[in-house]
Amino acid sequence: MLKTPNLNKSSTKFECETGNYHTFCPISCVAWLYQKIEDSFFLVIGTKTCGYFLQNALGVMIFAEPRYAMAELEEADISAHLSDYLELKRLCNLIKKDRNPSVIFWIGTCTTEIIKMDLEGIAPKLEAELGIPIIVARANGLDYAFTQGEDTVLSSLVNSNNIKTKQLNINNQIPKQNLILFGSIPNNVVNELTFELKNFGVDVYGWLPAQRYTEIPLIKENDFVCGINPYLSRTATTLMRRVKCNLIGAPFPIGPDGTRAWIEKICSVFNKETPLLKEKEQNCWKKLSPYLSIIKGKSVFFMGDNLLEISLARFLIRAGMIVYEIGVPYLDKRYQGAELLLLERTCLELNVFLPLIVEKPDNYNQLERIKDLHPDLVITGMAHANPLEARGINTKWSVEFTFSQIHGFNNSKNILDLICRPLSRKTNLQSLGWENYSAHA
Amino acid sequence: MKLAYWMYSGPAHIGTLRVATSFQNVHAIMHAPLGDDYFNVMRSMLERKRDFTPVTASVVDRHVLARGSQEKVIENIKRKDKEETPDLVILTPTCTSSILQEDLQNFVNRASQNTEADVLLADVNHYRVNELQAADRTLEQIVKFYIEKFEKENSIKKIKTSNPSVNILGPCNLSFHLQHDIAELKRLLKDLGIQVNCIIPEGASINDLKLIPQAWFNIVPYREVGLATAKLLQNVYNMPYTKICPIGVIDTANFIHEIEEILANFNYQKNFQDYIDIQTRFVSQSAWFSRSIDCQNLCGKTAVVFGDSTHASAITKILSKEMGVHVLLSGTYCKHDEIWFKKSVSDHCDNVLITDDHNLIANMIASLEPSAIFGTQMERHIGKRLNIPCGVISAPVHIQNFPLSYRPFLCYEGSNQIADLIYNSFTLGMEDHLLEIFGGHDTTQIGIEQFYNHQKDGLTWNDEAKNELNRTPGFVRNKIKRSIEKFATKNNINIITLEVMYNAKELGET
């Protein structure tokens, strides 16, 4: 078990624990992806356990006739008394009749992995019979955590031969090397980021995913691609290896510092100047100043569950916070290379110690370390939040960062909004004097 | 394969975990992949539990698939034994471990040689039983294990208490209005001069199980969890148990008579009739409510009831017998309890429906057009779609059905709560209906018209910008529109484009 870290200023330290931590199952990605890709349908092929998770995790969304469903496996499916092909055909026919989507995503789960259901083999056959593209993504809890679900879906999209071409502008000739950004974010944030780059003369050719499946851009050899989320390493690899794209390795546009570094990196690739970008960043920080005075000098502990942790920690350090530990489910040091460098540089410039990065953390051990360090804020999953609050430790629910708009200059304040809420609540309640609500502490 | 996106009862392991974590100092280890420990979130969120949920996962990953999970499971059990020193560790299989077909019992046997704690493998099959059945079985399994163990040690207390006493069997966490129901049940028993011996599993420790046989009889408040244990104890210790659930004034009276009878068999003669009379007429308001003019207006109104078998049957009977409401359809998702359910409600409704398909219920409700629905959260949302009011009477439920204030469903105070719930559902429906007849509230209209007519002189929005504005949430749209127009006027801009919007957002105060 890791002991409470010593202050470390030389270089980033990485540790790996047991992987016994709480996180969402990666199938949760259907929640935001079905909303993002408006003409899609997501079919999660799994058991009651998967269905129960989705039903509870998605809350009221489930009542809004979502474009996703479970193909619930029964005993006869497991023991192969029924043909997977015929069963899936029956269900997909129903989906086609009721919803008529432009694409059906099959989300493979732990169960389909263990019984080795040949989804990739069945899909092309059914696709031909149904006339609807079927894309298979293995977003299971055996291999992946939470947001990595989106990574598997996007990399399957790249892998599929079905990506339709749609020229955005027929009159203009398509430039030789297009820029395509990947990562699913709400459409207004897409527009904002596209606009930021356009300001400096960089045109975004398309986004993966687009608002509709039929609008997903054609990605071809030598195109430039850049990720906007830290958990898309598989998609990046697929784009580089399968399509032979050039990956722009940049920090992620989270926080004003990250956004500026992201724009600078992309612009440098296209040989564009970035006049007034620094001023823009400073202006953004200025607007954040009411928040900064609240968080300055406060300490944070990331238990880790959604892979946004390193970017968020880097932003919070720049904003004046002290980060003790960055728990993270999985770290691709190559894909996150630029982000890790920026984290190191940030710590160096501010002359603060480098946080410990703990991959595959062990929640039990982390709770011991939290007890020792008593941080001002623990960013954690809902399983630990209330028990920690009952022990007088402030928490922020990590999943909220996944579902909020956090990219670009303008949305930086949303992140600090989330961070400040528990901190200012504590100030409000402090005068009451009741801190400890646990009978067992 | 079944196309589904909603289920009324969860997978089997949830039932096991509900029972395990209701005991004190019992730790459950799930044999499951990453992300399956969602139970911890539910317990921590819905019940707002202050303590860490004593459930950990022994994570099934690729390595486990390749090498088997034997060492890992055993290590995890031993580790928890050291870290938390629980009395009992329950290894909980999931859908994943069901398919792996590893000999989990063997791991349990091996681990228990090196642990202070007892170790049990929950005997539930994911593909055969649901959450409620699994909870019932797990409780029976734990009780059976310990009475056998304690019998061997000769540490079990067999002498009955001098005054009549009961065990309450089945209450476990994440049950509908559980804490309030227990409090109300205790109050009733105190009034009847009966002491509570043990409540199992909620809040009980393993050592409490030694005391079980000293109670005179057992109470099973809800059919879903606890019946199997009650039957076991009847066989082993010849302990009688109650079969009536005290929901509503009539069944509360029946329940008390049932207790009277059980006590009589112990040669303990009691007559609770006066107590029932006073409670019914003066403590509970519900019987008087049935007589009042308000309730007269409910006579002949129609309703559909759906939920677990305990609550759905009880509410059906209250509606039809106590309020004169015409129950068009009464149903349950507890398919395993079909025979009992049919028998208990068929005299009080037109039709009985046993299903776990929410679409079927939605269709039935749509075609029957009742004036009110009493069901689960799913029926509440069906009601929203169809504009029919719904009172929530059964799990599955959201966080708002774990109220902070005192809201029992059982016994006399429970009958008041239910009367309020029923009456409020129907009057709300009436109010809506009357508003519609008289032209509705007109305030919302005013706001909308203002919004669309509001047009600053010389300002136009291009289509792109209009679309973007329409994508913003309705409740802030007006505010955003105004501030962008303010920005445009200030900067002498006539046509609002996307660019103007973003500049406004960045430089302005939106």
pLDDT in tens, chain A (441 residues): 666 555 666 678 899 999 999 999 999 999 999 999 999 999 999 999 999 998 888 776 666 678 899 999 988 888 888 899 999 999 999 999 999 999 999 999 999 999 999 999 999 999 999 999 999 999 999 999 999 999 999 999 998 854 444 444 445 555 578 999 999 999 999 999 999 999 999 999 999 999 999 999 989 899 999 999 999 999 999 999 999 999 999 999 999 999 999 999 999 999 999 999 999 999 999 999 999 999 999 999 999 999 999 999 999 999 999 999 999 999 999 999 999 999 999 999 999 999 999 999 999 999 999 999 999 999 998 899 999 999 999 999 999 999 899 999 999 999 999 999 999 887 778 778 777 888 765
Is residue A355 one of the residues assigned to a domain?
A: yes
Contact A72, A20 (CB under 8 A): no
Task: Let me know whether A265 and A281 are in one domain.
Answer: no
What is the distance between the alpha carbons of residues B116 and B412, in angstroms, rounded to a whole number? Answer: 45
Task: Let me know whether A324 and A411 are in one domain.
Answer: yes
Q: Is B293 helix (H, G, I), strand (E, B) or coil?
A: helix
- Closest residue of chain A to B38, computed from CA coordinates: A53
Q: Where are the CATH 3.40.50.1980 domain residues in chain B? A: 12-130, 165-283, 288-436
- A75 contacts on B by Cβ (under 8 Å): 127-128
The listed CATH number (3.40.50.1980, 3.40.50.150, 3.40.1400.10, 2.40.50.140) that belongs to domain B288-436: 3.40.50.1980
In this structure, what token pair is assigned to residue A38? 């408006």
In this structure, what token pair is assigned to residue B67? 């090498």
How many contacts does A have with B, using Cβ atoms within 8 A?
A: 180
Report the DSSP pairing between strands B460-461 and A224-227. unpaired
Amino acid, single-letter form, for residue B281: R
Query: The domain B460-507: what is its CATH number?
Result: 1.10.8.550
Q: Is A7 helix (H, G, I), strand (E, B) or coil?
A: coil
Is residue A174 one of the residues assigned to a domain?
A: no
Contact B378, B6 (CB under 8 A): yes
Contact B96, A177 (CB under 8 A): no
Contact B225, B197 (CB under 8 A): no
| pLDDT given at position A338 | 97
What is the distance between the alpha carbons of residues B338 and B228, in angstroms, rounded to a whole number? Answer: 16
Closest CA to B266 of B156, B162, B157: B162
What is the distance between the alpha carbons of residues B256 and B267, in angstroms, rounded to a whole number? Answer: 16
Task: Let me know whether A424 and A289 are in one domain.
Answer: yes
Task: Let me know whether A265 and A307 are in one domain.
Answer: no
SS3 content of chain A, % helix, strand, coil (to 5): 45, 15, 40
- B36 contacts on A by Cβ (under 8 Å): 25, 49, 53, 141
Quote the CATH superfamily of domain B12-130. Answer: Nitrogenase molybdenum iron protein domain (3.40.50.1980)
Distances (CA, A) of B92 to A5, A394, B73, B118, B205: 35, 32, 11, 14, 19
What is the distance between the alpha carbons of residues B342 and B325, in angstroms, rounded to a whole number? Answer: 19
Determine how many CB atoms are found less than 10 A away from the CB of residue A280. Answer: 19
In this structure, what token pair is assigned to residue A118? 């040949």
What is the distance between the alpha carbons of residues B159 and B151, in angstroms, rounded to a whole number? Answer: 14
What is the distance between the alpha carbons of residues B142 and B138, in angstroms, rounded to a whole number? Answer: 6
Task: Let me know whether A303 and A353 are in one domain.
Answer: yes
Q: Which residue ranges of B make up the annotated binding site for [4Fe-4S] cluster?
A: 36
The whole-model pTM stands at 0.90
Contact A25 B11 (CB under 8 A): no
Per-residue burial over B458-475, b = 16 or more CB atoms within 10 Å of its CB, e = otherwise: eeebeeebeebbeeeeee
**Chain B interface test: which of A85, A114, A126 (most B C-beta within 10 Å):** A114
What is the distance between the alpha carbons of residues B316 and B142, in angstroms, rounded to a whole number? Answer: 34
How buried is B84 (Cβ within 10 angstroms: 0-12 exposed, 13-18 middle, 19+ buried)?
Answer: middle
Q: Where are the CATH 1.10.8.550 domain residues in chain B? A: 460-507
Strands (E), A277-434: 299-302, 322-328, 356-359, 377-380, 395-397
Contact A143 B13 (CB under 8 A): no
| pLDDT given at position A1 | 60
Instruction: Encode chain B (510 residues) as per-residue pLDDT tens digits.
Output: 988 878 899 999 999 999 999 999 999 999 999 989 899 999 998 889 999 999 999 999 988 888 888 889 999 999 999 999 999 999 999 998 888 888 999 999 999 999 999 999 999 988 899 999 999 999 999 999 999 999 999 999 899 999 999 999 999 999 999 999 999 999 999 999 999 999 999 999 999 999 999 999 999 999 999 999 999 999 999 999 999 999 999 999 999 999 999 999 999 999 999 999 999 998 889 999 888 887 888 888 999 999 999 999 999 999 999 999 999 999 999 999 999 999 999 999 999 999 999 999 999 999 999 999 999 999 999 999 999 999 999 998 888 889 999 999 999 999 999 999 999 998 777 777 777 777 665 554 444 445 444 555 678 888 888 888 887 777 778 888 888 888 888 888 888 888 888 888 777 654
- Closest residue of chain B to A141, computed from CA coordinates: B34
Closest CA to B178 of B394, B360, B353, B449: B394
- Name the domain count of chain A: 3
Terminal-to-terminal C-alpha distance of chain A: 22
Q: How many helices (H) and strands (E) does chain B have?
A: 22, 15
Contact B11 A59 (CB under 8 A): no
Task: Let me know whether A236 and A297 are in one domain.
Answer: no
Distance from CA of A162 to the nearest CA of B (A): 25
- B59 contacts on A by Cβ (under 8 Å): 19-20
| pLDDT given at position A164 | 45
Contact A52 B33 (CB under 8 A): no
What is the distance between the alpha carbons of residues B490 and B476, in angstroms, rounded to a whole number? Answer: 21
**Whether the bond into A387 is cis, omega within 30 of 0:** no
**Domain end: A270, A288, A323, which one?**
A270
What is the distance between the alpha carbons of residues B269 and B281, in angstroms, rounded to a whole number? Answer: 24
Closest CA to B475 of B451, B499, B506, B442: B451
**Domain end: A243, A270, A297, which one?**
A270
Is residue A165 one of the residues assigned to a domain?
A: no
Is residue A153 one of the residues assigned to a domain?
A: no
Contact A59 B398 (CB under 8 A): yes
Task: Let me know whether A282 and A266 are in one domain.
Answer: no
Q: Which residue ranges of B make up the annotated binding site?
A: 36, 429-430
How buried is A359 (Cβ within 10 angstroms: 0-12 exposed, 13-18 middle, 19+ buried)?
Answer: middle
Task: Let me know whether A264 and A335 are in one domain.
Answer: no
Is residue A302 one of the residues assigned to a domain?
A: yes
What is the distance between the alpha carbons of residues B325 and B318, in angstroms, rounded to a whole number? Answer: 9
Task: Let me know whether A58 and A129 are in one domain.
Answer: yes
Distance from CA of B377 to the nearest CA of A (A): 9
Terminal-to-terminal C-alpha distance of chain B: 50
In this structure, what token pair is assigned to residue B62? 């690729």
Is residue A15 one of the residues assigned to a domain?
A: no
Cα angle B400, B402, B406 (rounded to 5 degrees) comes to 115
Q: Is A178 helix (H, G, I), strand (E, B) or coil?
A: coil
Distances (CA, A) of A427 to A141, A294, A398, A421, A431: 39, 10, 21, 10, 8
| Residue A230 per-residue DSSP state | T
| Residue A218 per-residue DSSP state | P
Is residue A441 one of the residues assigned to a domain?
A: no
Task: Let me know whether A62 and A189 are in one domain.
Answer: no
Residue A25, annotated as binding a ligand: yes
Q: Residue A230 maps to which CATH number?
A: 3.40.50.1980
Is residue A162 one of the residues assigned to a domain?
A: no
User: Nearest by CB to A51, which of B7, B48, B128?
Assistant: B7
| pLDDT given at position B196 | 98
Q: Give the ipTM of the model, two decimals please.
A: 0.91
* DSSP code string of B478-494: HHHHHHHHHHHHHTT--
Domain that holds residue A391: 277-432
Task: Let me know whether A298 and A418 are in one domain.
Answer: yes
Q: Which residue ranges of B make up the annotated binding site for substrate?
A: 429-430
Catalytic residues of B, by residue number, are 294
Task: Let me know whether A120 and A193 are in one domain.
Answer: no
Strand order in the sheet with B88-93: B55-59, B26-32, B88-93, B118-121
| pLDDT given at position B377 | 92
- B34 contacts on A by Cβ (under 8 Å): 19, 23, 25, 141-142, 144-145
Task: Find all residues with CB under 8 Å of B448, minimum gap 6, and list them.
Answer: none
Quote the CATH superfamily of domain B165-283. Answer: Nitrogenase molybdenum iron protein domain (3.40.50.1980)
**Domain end: A250, A270, A290, which one?**
A270
What is the distance between the alpha carbons of residues A382 and A385, in angstroms, rounded to a whole number? Answer: 5
Give the orientation angle of helix B338-345 with respect to helix B309-317, to 10 degrees: 10
Give the 3-state DSSP-derived string for B373-414, with helices as H, strands as E and coil as C. EEECHHHHHHHHHHCCCEEECCCCCCHHHCCCCCCCCCHHHH
Backbone φ and ψ for B161, nearest 5 degrees, come out as: -65, 155
What is the distance between the alpha carbons of residues A349 and A355, in angstroms, rounded to a whole number? Answer: 14
Strand order in the sheet with A377-380: A13-16, A356-359, A322-328, A299-302, A377-380, A395-397
| pLDDT given at position B490 | 85
| pLDDT given at position B456 | 59
Backbone φ and ψ for A68, nearest 5 degrees, come out as: -145, 160
Which long-range contacts (C-beta less than 8 Å, at least 24 apart) are formed by A2-7?
A2/A356, A2/A358, A2/A365, A2/A369, A3/A369, A4/A369, A4/A372, A4/A373, A5/A324, A5/A325, A5/A356, A7/A353
